[in-house]
Structure 1
């Protein structure tokens, strides 16, 4: 792949849904569909919103290993990124990705205690296209904000 950040970034930006993986207390993988990330920094850092009271938040607090997957079903290609997930509850990060209309889910606004940010930091990935897969290390690519 000539320019992983550009190729994968374009694939990600066109998706409305992301799939997020976590590990439960029994060590089994759990997968969930989420709305696309609110913000990304290159192909290394991604920010999502969720409920602080959710099962996923509890799992990430216990075990921060995570993956996210983006699928372009039209061209049958996708990318899985592996890394860690942080649960952020500080005002700065919550305000950074807050959007109009979020009060539908978080009536208390950006200060709502049941609103938090999930910050995913990738370490490596696997890109699937043209009936083949390719592993890559995120450290090989500069993060452009």
Structure 2
């Protein structure tokens, strides 16, 4: 792939959902569909909003190992990124990705204790396209 960051970035930007995977307290992987990231920095750092009370947040606090997956169904290609997930509950992190209309999910606004931010940082990835996979390090 000539410019993997641009190719993968375009795939991510067009994806309508993200699959996030984490490890539960019994050591089993769990995958969950989420909305697209609120923000991304290249193909290495991704910001998501979620409920503090969710199972995944508790699991990430215990074990930050994570993967995120984006798929382009139209061309049957995808990218899996492996790294770590941080749970952020600071006012700065919450303000950074807050969107108009989020109070529909978090009735107390940005200060809602059930609103937090997930920050994923990728260390490596695997891109699938045209019946072959390619690993890369970030």
Q: TM (normalized to structure 1)?
A: 0.94
Aligned twin of 2:54: 54
Aligned twin of 2:73: 73
- Whether 1:92 aligns to 2:70 is no
Equivalenced residue count is: 138
* Superposition deviation, residue 3 in structure 1: 1.0
Give me the CA root mean square deviation: 0.4
Q: List per-residue Cα deviations over 1:96-133 (Å, max 9, x = no partner).
A: 00001100000111111100000000000000000000
CA distance in 2, matches of 1:76, 1:125: 17
Aligned twin of 2:24: 24
Q: Residue 75 of structure 2: SS of its match in structure 1? A: coil
**4+ residue runs of structure 1 moved beyond 4 angstroms?**
none
CA distance in 2, matches of 1:89, 1:116: 5
Q: List per-residue Cα deviations over 1:15-66 (Å, max 9, x = no partner).
A: 1100000001111100000000000000000000000000000000000000
CA distance in 2, matches of 1:3, 1:65: 27
CA distance in 1, matches of 2:20, 2:86: 13
CA distance in 2, matches of 1:106, 1:78: 31
* Superposition deviation, residue 67 in structure 1: 0.1
Aligned twin of 2:35: 35
- In structure 2, runs of 5+ residues without a counterpart are none
* Superposition deviation, residue 2 in structure 1: 1.1
Q: Residue 93 of structure 1: SS of its match in structure 2? A: helix
